[in-house]
Amino acid sequence: MQKDLREQFNGRRILVTGGTGSIGREIVRQLLQWDPEVIRIFSRNENNQFTEYQKLGHHKNIRFLIGDVRDKDRLKRACEDIDYIFHTAALKHVPFCEYNPFEAVKTNVVGTQNLIEVALECGVGKVIAINTDKSVSPINTMGATKLLAEKLIIAAQAYKGTRKTSFCSVRFGNVIGSDGSVLQTFIDQAQMGGPVTVTDPVMCRFIMTIPDAVALVLGASTLSRGGEVFILKMPALKIVDLAEVIIDEIAPTDNVRITFSGSRPGEKLHEELMTREESPYAIEREGMYIIRPLMAGKKSVGSTRKVYSTESTPLMSKPEIRRYLKDRKLLPGFKPELAPPPSKSKKPRVTLYT
């Protein structure tokens, strides 16, 4: 895999939309080791752009572009002469999307279609879009917009005609330790003496770390032939068990308690990553499922119908959760460096515009 990644990205030109978010930052960090010609970090958050500039300003092949996927003209400039696009830009918080539904549509749906059209116009080689488990059998606005975004990506592969661009999508669960994740919320609440707020005692989620998520994304970019959905096999847990482990590990006193606030609007108790209807089109590989395009109608030989959900997956015990967090240095006191170490160059050199 390491050799494949070097061959794929060495000397290439790459665009990362949402490149200053949790997943985007890690994609950039991992791509840098393969010596691409240029990585364009595209996002609308000026403060995050400045923060990343402070970390990555010594890299000669980094470009920082402020822009929004809703703005097709700006996006087209960013896509000029690009070989690969990693599309991570999205509105992702369920309650905010629920109360601002058309804003979610404009970013997650219209923004994705803008990217597809621009990628085809500019002759981009490959587009890898990031998706979420909430797009599977969605009951909330965010999930519905991400489902439609995924459908747009897969449909683009079918209608692109003779253009060289290929499209695929990567679907993962809750990225633990990402910006705004439940893990950080629990840590903050526990360190302040509580209470630690859990929505529902039954609620379960798939989890993965940021490096795991990005490994799937980069792996998908090498395996994809066009039109697939890649799903990482990942552990699942009860949210209340995660909260109890955090309290046991870092709470300053023994009085920190858990309170239950009730499910938020549009929130599921269990999450799915693959539906029963999708499963006949899935190929199982070590560590992942690959769903081939449903429109192609190619079912897997000997396939059986099954659902991949937190209801059908064994849940981690609290000792397993504790070991998972400690092994991955996700508890306070461990701050893994996401940005690469500084180069020998003393003078930062970076282009802040196209």
Cα separation of 273 and 271, whole Å?
A: 7
Alpha carbons 172 and 272: distance in angstroms, whole number = 10
Q: Take residue 257 and report the two structure tokens written for it.
A: 């308690």
Is residue 171 within 8 A of residue 217, CB to CB? The reply is no
Strand partners, 336: none
| 279 contacts 292 by C-beta, under 8 angstroms | no
What's the token pair of residue 31?
């791509």
153 contacts: CB under 8 Å, gap ≥ 6: 112, 116, 127, 129, 167, 168, 169
Check if 268 is active-site: no
What span, in angstroms and rounded, lies between the C-alpha atoms of 260 and 275?
29
Collapsing DSSP to helix, strand or coil, 168 comes out as strand
Marked catalytic residue, from 126, 134, 146, 268: 134
Contact (CB, 8 A) for 295 and 229? no
> In Å, how far are 171, 198, 265, 276 from 155, measured between CA atoms?
16, 38, 30, 21
Name the token pair of 272.
């799915």
Indicate the residue type of 249.
Answer: E
SS3 at position 35: coil
List residues with catalytic annotation: 134
